[in-house]
């Protein structure tokens, strides 16, 4: 393809992210054009319903409802897939790549489900696939991993990867706000996925963890292979208990690799973090990613993890990379993870291999001997108790029992909880949270 004087962009999707890209591209366009030495134009925009009311009005004369036509349009160089979902989004992405175009995507679910196929298609047809906006919103974590930290192997990456959950947890902790009303607010602010279960059940963070694990280790780990737990069972009482123990609660994605045994573990779950740690104090829609490299040591990245502006910032950074590639013939994306030597012998650890300290909250009958019975089940499974707090329950015949353990194996902990739940004096399902003694 000859060097274009004007780079033409097709936007598939003009919702929260698409409108942000339109708005901020207009603001950044002149500076970008002068740095690139070429013009930039949004040539076509695909939406589902052109008559829908929007905060940013649809620019006349470029609207279609046919996203596949945008993907195949010979005049368009860069296709931004900002629709979401994994069906039409996959078709649009593959079509554009088969036409040798550059695709920019914010769609972590798509990358997690179909990343291998997408990157293979890009390679086969000389196209490129850029995805900075897919993980941690405005934080340039993809660039950090594949460019800035290229000298490293990564024994540990962990962090807050879902802005909606962090916003909900913060409001519940600081304002004592009810879960449902905070979730509604997160939706109104444009943080939540169209299917909010992806956020609150932990799947969105799992999609992002999968992408980071692939970038860092060259292995696709699917959410079904991970422990994935969301925030729906956390109550205001858990925040109070955690505070008494000196912890805050965050939904974390944790990716560890034992560089000796080469075992990789990827998981997503609410985690108690020491209240003095930086990550425990990252609040609202902000994300935080702690990356420990074997050469650099630990680096920490914090910024807005969701919402129109932060996400548009990341998409526009990919548009600029894509345009530089078209105009100058090279781009930083060339050091992508697909060039990692296959897996480097890395093996996925079974979830039962997780080893950490645990927080267990039980609702029990307020009767003599209950604590002894619970302790005896734990002893039978070789779980060592570190602390016990008893607080009044919702009625005067019940009590809340909060235990923390010394480091234990997940397998033993799961077996313990099954047996504890069977005790006649235990009411309802036990709540289990993991304690992350990370101090970043
Ligand atoms: P959104 O507000 O729901 O917007 C989706 C857009 O896609 C809408 O403009 C919609 O058209 C269009 N669309 C949907 N189905 C279509 C179809 N069949 N044909 C043509 N257009 C179609 O979603 P969003 O929040 O912008 O998210 C977009 C993507 O970015 C998702 O993959 C999401 O996971 C990702 N992301 C979002 C954020 C965030 O903070 N929101 C952050 C990072 C990544 P209508 O407007 O006509 O309905
Ligand atoms: N729903 C996602 C979140 C959007 O809340 O983090 C950003 O990926």
With the most atoms of ligand 1 within 8 angstroms of its CB, the residue from 10, 12, 13, 130 to mutate is 13
Q: What is the dihedral of CA 12, 15, 16, 19, to 10 degrees?
A: 70
Ligand whose nearest atom lies closest to the CA of 163: 2
With the most atoms of ligand 1 within 8 angstroms of its CB, the residue from 84, 129, 139 to mutate is 84
CA distances for 277 relative to 247, 256, 304, angstroms: 9, 19, 18
91 and 154, same domain (yes or no)? no
- Residue located via tokens 């680096």: 299
Q: Please tell me the predicted confidence (pLDDT) of residue 351.
A: 86
Whether residue 345 lies inside any domain: the answer is: no
151 and 299, same domain (yes or no)? yes
198 and 119, same domain (yes or no)? no
Whether residue 265 lies inside any domain: the answer is: yes
| CATH code for position 58 | 3.40.50.720
**Is 222 among the catalytic positions?**
no
Phi/psi at 3 (nearest 5 deg)?
-65, 120
160 and 288, same domain (yes or no)? yes
167 and 279, same domain (yes or no)? yes
Could you tell me which of 424, 422, 418, 440 has the C-alpha nearest to residue 432?
A: 418
Tokens coding 70: 């945008």
Helix (H, G, I), strand (E, B) or coil at 422: helix
Could you tell me which of 124, 117, 236 has the C-alpha nearest to residue 182?
A: 236
Helix (H, G, I), strand (E, B) or coil at 250: strand
Ligand whose nearest atom lies closest to the CA of 314: 1
Whether residue 81 lies inside any domain: the answer is: yes
| CATH code for position 195 | 3.30.360.10
Could you tell me which of 16, 279, 278, 287 has the C-alpha nearest to residue 167?
A: 287
216 and 296, same domain (yes or no)? yes
d(CA 136, CA 279): 14
Index of the ligand 2 atom closest to the CA of residue 136: 8
Whether residue 440 lies inside any domain: the answer is: no
CB 362 within 8 A of CB 420: yes
Q: Please tell me the predicted confidence (pLDDT) of residue 335.
A: 44
Whether residue 346 lies inside any domain: the answer is: no
The contacts of residue 305 (CB under 8 Å, 6+ apart) are 136, 137, 138, 139, 160, 161, 162, 163, 166, 285, 286, 287
Q: How many domains is the chain partitioned into structurally? A: 3
Cα 84 to averaged position of ligand 1 atoms, centre (Å): 5
Whether residue 344 lies inside any domain: the answer is: no
CB 427 within 8 A of CB 364: yes
CB 391 within 8 A of CB 400: yes
271 and 417, same domain (yes or no)? no
288 and 314, same domain (yes or no)? no
| CATH code for position 361 | 3.30.70.260
Tokens coding 213: 């694990």
d(CA 290, CA 136): 12
Q: Please tell me the predicted confidence (pLDDT) of residue 127.
A: 87
106 and 242, same domain (yes or no)? no
**Domain limits for position 148:** 142-303
- Tell me, letter by letter, the H, E, C secondary structure of 183-234: HHHHHHCCCCCCCCHHHHCCHHHHHHHHHHHHHHHCCCCCHHHCEECCCCCC
Whether residue 406 lies inside any domain: the answer is: yes
Q: Is 210 in the pocket of ligand 1 (CB under 6 A)?
A: no
Tokens coding 395: 């009625």
Whether residue 422 lies inside any domain: the answer is: yes
Could you tell me which of 363, 347, 351 has the C-alpha nearest to residue 414?
A: 351
pLDDT in tens, the chain (440 residues): 578 899 999 999 999 999 999 999 999 999 999 998 999 999 999 999 999 999 999 989 999 999 999 999 999 999 999 999 999 999 999 999 999 999 999 999 999 999 999 999 999 998 899 999 999 999 999 999 999 999 999 999 999 999 999 999 999 999 988 888 999 999 999 999 999 999 999 999 999 999 999 999 999 999 999 999 999 999 999 999 999 999 999 999 999 999 999 999 999 999 999 999 999 999 999 999 999 999 999 999 999 999 999 999 999 999 999 999 999 886 555 444 555 555 567 899 998 888 999 999 999 999 999 999 999 999 999 999 999 999 887 788 899 999 999 999 999 999 999 999 999 999 989 999 999 988 78
**Annotated catalytic residue, options 101, 108, 143, 208:** 208
d(CA 185, CA 192): 9
Q: How many CB atoms lie within 10 A of CB 151?
A: 9
Cα 56 to averaged position of ligand 2 atoms, centre (Å): 21
CB 44 within 8 A of CB 66: no
299 and 312, same domain (yes or no)? no
217 and 294, same domain (yes or no)? yes
100 and 248, same domain (yes or no)? no
């Amino acid at each position: 393809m000859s060097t274009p004087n004007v780079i033409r962009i097709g936007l598939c999707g003009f919702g929260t992210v698409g409108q942000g890209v339109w708005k901020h591209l207009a603001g950044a366009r002149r500076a970008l054009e002068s740095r690139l030495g070429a013009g930039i134009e949004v040539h076509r925009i695909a939406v589902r319903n052109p008559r829908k009311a929007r905060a940013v009005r649809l620019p006349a004369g470029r609207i279609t409802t046919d996203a596949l036509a945008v993907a195949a349009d010979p005049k368009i160089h860069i296709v931004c897939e900002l629709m979401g979902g994994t069906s039409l989004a996959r078709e649009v992405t593959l079509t554009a790549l088969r036409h040798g175009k550059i695709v920019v995507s914010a769609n972590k679910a798509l990358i997690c489900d179909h990343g291998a196929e997408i990157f293979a298609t890009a390679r086969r047809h000389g196209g490129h696939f850029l995805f900075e906006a897919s993980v941690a919103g405005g934080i340039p974590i993809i660039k950090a991993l594949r460019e800035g930290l290229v000298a490293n192997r990564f024994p540990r990456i962990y962090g807050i990867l879902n802005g909606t959950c962090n916003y909900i947890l913060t409001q519940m902790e600081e304002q004592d706000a009810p879960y449902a009303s905070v979730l509604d607010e997160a939706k109104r602010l444009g943080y939540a996925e169209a299917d909010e279960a992806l956020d609150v059940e932990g799947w969105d963070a799992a999609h992002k963890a999968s992408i980071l694990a692939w970038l860092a280790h060259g292995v696709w780990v699917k959410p079904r292979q991970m422990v994935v737990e969301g925030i729906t069972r956390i109550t205001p009482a858990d925040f109070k208990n955690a505070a008494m123990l000196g912890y805050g609660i965050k939904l974390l994605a944790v990716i560890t690799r034992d560089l000796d045994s080469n075992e990789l573990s990827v998981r997503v779950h609410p985690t108690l973090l020491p209240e003095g740690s930086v990550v425990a104090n990252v609040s609202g829609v902000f994300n935080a990613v702690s990356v420990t490299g074997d050469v650099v040591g630990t680096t920490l990245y914090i910024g807005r993890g969701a919402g129109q502006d932060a996400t548009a910032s990341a998409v526009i950074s990919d548009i600029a990379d894509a345009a530089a590639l078209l105009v100058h013939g090279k781009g930083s994306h060339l050091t992508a993870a697909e060039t990692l030597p296959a897996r480097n012998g890395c093996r996925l650890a079974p979830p039962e291999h997780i080893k950490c300290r645990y927080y267990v909250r039980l609702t029990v009958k307020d009767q003599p001997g209950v604590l002894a019975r619970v302790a005896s089940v734990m002893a039978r499974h070789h779980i060592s108790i570190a602390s016990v707090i008893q607080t009044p329950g919702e009625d005067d015949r019940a009590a809340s029992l909060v235990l923390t353990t010394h480091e234990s194996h997940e397998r033993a902990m799961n077996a313990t909880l099954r047996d504890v739940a069977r005790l006649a004096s235990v009411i309802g399902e036990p709540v289990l949270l993991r304690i992350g003694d990370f101090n970043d």
